[in-house]
Structure formats: structure tokens, C-alpha cells
Amino acid sequence: MVRRISDDKLQQYVEAIGKSELIAWLLERCQDDEKLRASLLDLVTPKGNTDALADEIRGRIHQAWQLAKRRDGWKMALPISRELDQALDSIRSLMDKGSLAEAEKLLVSFVQAAEKGMTSVDDSYGYLWPTCHRGVTLWGEVWAQIQPRDVKYLTDLVYEHIHDNGYAIKDDMISKFAKALGDEGLRALQWRLKGDLAALPQPDPGERLPNIQRVQVVGWLKEIADTLGDVDEYIAIIESEQQVQTYALSVARRLFEAGRLQEALAYLEKGTARFISGEPDDYPTLKSKTLIALGRKDEAKEIFWQEFAGSLSTSAFEKILELTPDTEKDHAHQRAAALAERHRAPERGAYFLVEMHALERAARLIQQRQGEISGVFYDTTVKVAEALTEPYPAQAWTLYKILLLNILNESRYKAYPHAARYLICMQELAVAAGIQAQQTEFVQHLRQVHGRKSSFWAKAKKGS
């Protein structure tokens, strides 16, 4: 192990060195280390003399985007994002020094450069997008600190930029500028956007494709309602746009968070979507949370039982156990096992039983319902077969047989290595289970039906 000098000891060494010698060392290192140079400038620039630092930052923003002009500039997203992150750190330093006006100008330059530069860079891996978002967030923060500020000017600024949002770098701009806009600015923006919405064609439930302009404006109005914490306004937008069935879960979550539990419960029943991207909870989870908050734990538990019966989800069963007294947990396990045994997909039922360490029940389920197992859920089926290999080799043999036949019957030649491995496993399991005659008969059947699949037989022979 490398012995590391303690921070206290390092401090003693630094304090012992001469000031002029340390300055010379730092300046020398800054010649080859731009990041160190930028950090040093952030630290030492006096509060009353930030013009030089601002010019330096502006130059670094420009230099970062110059990387996009290289022959391989389209793939420079990561290096550019690193340079820009350092520039944003320096802008934050300017803000901390109280140079808010200069920081705001720099952030305008940052956003303008990002809008132009993103056209030349492939950001498929999402390196630049978060950095650009951070720039817009800082822009909103600096405006929130500027005093006094012209609310009308700021409202116009946000209105203009949300309509000019190339590459989506100004997503959520209203929320990011909420503190700067204040209630007055948000209401003014809301009023203006409602006017825009009124001028657009009304939503038509029969339309195959929605009006994109209307979708945008409605999205901004929802964002304002959320920023203001106005649940009723959010609901009014949803209802006016005839989106109740689609977004009932979103409305119910906001009602729940506002403590309006009975309304949340009623709204949940209006929806058709059990899950919405971006929502933290799905339908059964939110409904159960609401019921629990209302003191109706038994009803909440039944919601999870319904969910479990369809999915055999381990997480759903864990939530059931959380709501079950210790004295009733054994009964809950028995009920879950019975549901698993009756599930429409026996391999999934067997997998849950294996997870519960109920291997005997899993083996019995395989034995009784082997004709219903297709081998399509190969990942689950393999795990069950592996778990049953030692205690119940005959049932494991059955599962490997199903998996093997699924591959060969479908002629999935890329999976032939797996099929060959399954056949070898079956040979070992047949010996352990005392069913060598069945194994011999099965191999004869394979040679009759799939004898021409030479690559499979070659792999089986090589592995045996």
C-alpha cells in the first residue's frame, strides 16, 4: 500500500516554502495546465477587478467551441463539455464576487454559443446537453440575484427563449427563472401564453397527430402551474385539453402531494394509463400510498395483491409484507406461493417459488404444467433449471429439454452453443435422476428431426 502524506503535513511543507518560490512554481505549472490556471484566476482575481477574468472566461467559451471546427469536431462533445464546465465554474466564481451584471452577459454568450455550436457536434452520449442546461440554470440564478430587475423585460426574455429552443437546451427554462420572475412575472407569462393558446385551434379527440404548437404552449402552462404550486390550475389545463384519461395519474400525484387525498383517490379512477414516463409512482403504488395516508392499509395491501397476481413482482410482494403484521407473514407467503402456482406463465411462477426458496413447490409446478412452458422466457427458465439441478434433477432436465427444443425448432443458429450446453447438462441430469432411458430416447428423436443441423451436433460433440 502506498503511504500518503497527510494533509496537515503537506500544509506544513507549503507554509515553509518561500512566497516568491511558490508563486513562481504556480505560474510555471499554469503554462501547461489550463484547468489549474482557470482555478487560480477564480481564486485570486480581486472583487473590484473582474473585467480581466470575464474576458478570460469569454475566451475559454469561444475556445471550447472551436474544437467543433476540427476535422473530427463532430465527436468532440466530451472535451467541449469539460471546457465549458470549467467556464461555468468560473462564472459561478464571478457571481460569488458580486459581479452579477458581468456574469449575466457571459451566460448570454454561453447560451448563444451553445445554440450555434450544438449544430456541429454529435451529442448522442449526452455529454454536452447537461452542461448547456447548467448554463441556463445559472442564468436564471444570476437574474434572481440582480436588484432591481425589470420584471416585464425578464418576462419577455423568457417568452422569447422558450419559443427559440433549438436542441432543447432551454427545457424547463420557466422553472429555472421562477425565482427571478417571481409571482408577478409568472402570472404575466401565464396570461400571455393563455392568449396564445386561445388563438390556436381547439383540440380534436379524433386527431391522429396533435397540434405541436398547442402541445408546446400547454406544456409551458403546466410548468407555470407547477412552479406556482397551483394544482387547480394544472387540473384546469388537463381538463380543457381533454387529457384527463391520459394524465389522471399526474393529477392524482399532485393532489396527493397537496394533501387532498380523497380527490387524489377519485382522480386515479379517471385514468387509463397505469404508468407515465417521468412520474415517480405507477397507478397501484400511488393508489396504495393514498389509501395508507387515509388509514386504509388493508385496502392498500389488496391493491398490491392484485398487482402481484398479474406480475408476480418481487417488489410488489415486498410491499405486501411491509403492510403485513409479523403474525400474518407466513400466511402471506402461502398465498403468494399459491398465486405463483396458478399463474398463466408457469415458468414465471416457478421462478418466484425459487426466489422464495420453495424448491419443492417449484419442482412440482414444473412437473404438473410442463406442457404449458414454451421456453420463450429463456432467462427465467434457465435460472429455475439451475436452482433445481441438485435437489430435483428430473425437473431441471425437463426445463433444459424445453429450452433446447425451442432453439432447434426455431432454427436459431446463433443460440446453438446454448442448445449444445443444454444437451450436455441433460446427459448429466439424466444420470442423477435415473432417467437415462428418457435421455437416450430424446437424443434419438433429436437426430431424426434435427439431424441436419450439423453445426449444433458439432458443438454438442465438442463440448461432451
The answer on pLDDT for 302 being more than 50 is: yes
Q: How confident is the model at residue 213 (pLDDT cuts 50, 70, 90)?
A: very high
Cell of 164: 427559440
**Number of folded domains that form the chain:** 1
CA proximity to 356, closest of 379, 372, 335, 333: 333
* Chain center to CA of 3: 40
Cell of 365: 409446478
CA distance 108 to 352: 56
Q: Is residue 130 part of a domain?
A: yes
The answer on pLDDT for 94 being more than 60 is: yes
Q: How confident is the model at residue 45 (pLDDT cuts 50, 70, 90)?
A: low
Q: Is residue 436 part of a domain?
A: no
Q: For the segment 186-200, what is each residue's pLDDT rounded down to a tens digit?
A: 999 999 999 999 999
Q: Are 133 and 167 in contact (CB under 8 A)?
A: no
CA distance 366 to 399: 8
Q: Is residue 343 part of a domain?
A: no
DSSP 3-state assignment of 31? coil
Q: How confident is the model at residue 210 (pLDDT cuts 50, 70, 90)?
A: confident
The domain containing residue 115 runs over which residues? 23-147
Tell me which of 369 and 47 has the higher pLDDT: 369
Q: Are 402 and 376 in contact (CB under 8 A)?
A: no
Q: Are 129 and 140 in contact (CB under 8 A)?
A: no
CA distance 392 to 102: 74
* Chain center to CA of 306: 26
Report how many helices (DSSP H) and strands (DSSP E) the chain contains, helices first: 25, 0
Q: Is residue 69 part of a domain?
A: yes
- In this prediction, residue 48 carries a pLDDT of 59
Q: Which residues contact 110 (CB under 8 A, 6 or more apart)?
A: 61, 84, 87, 88, 91, 135, 139
The pLDDT > 90 percentage for the chain reads: 69
Q: How confident is the model at residue 74 (pLDDT cuts 50, 70, 90)?
A: confident
pTM of the prediction? 0.76
CA distance 139 to 113: 14
Q: Is residue 338 part of a domain?
A: no
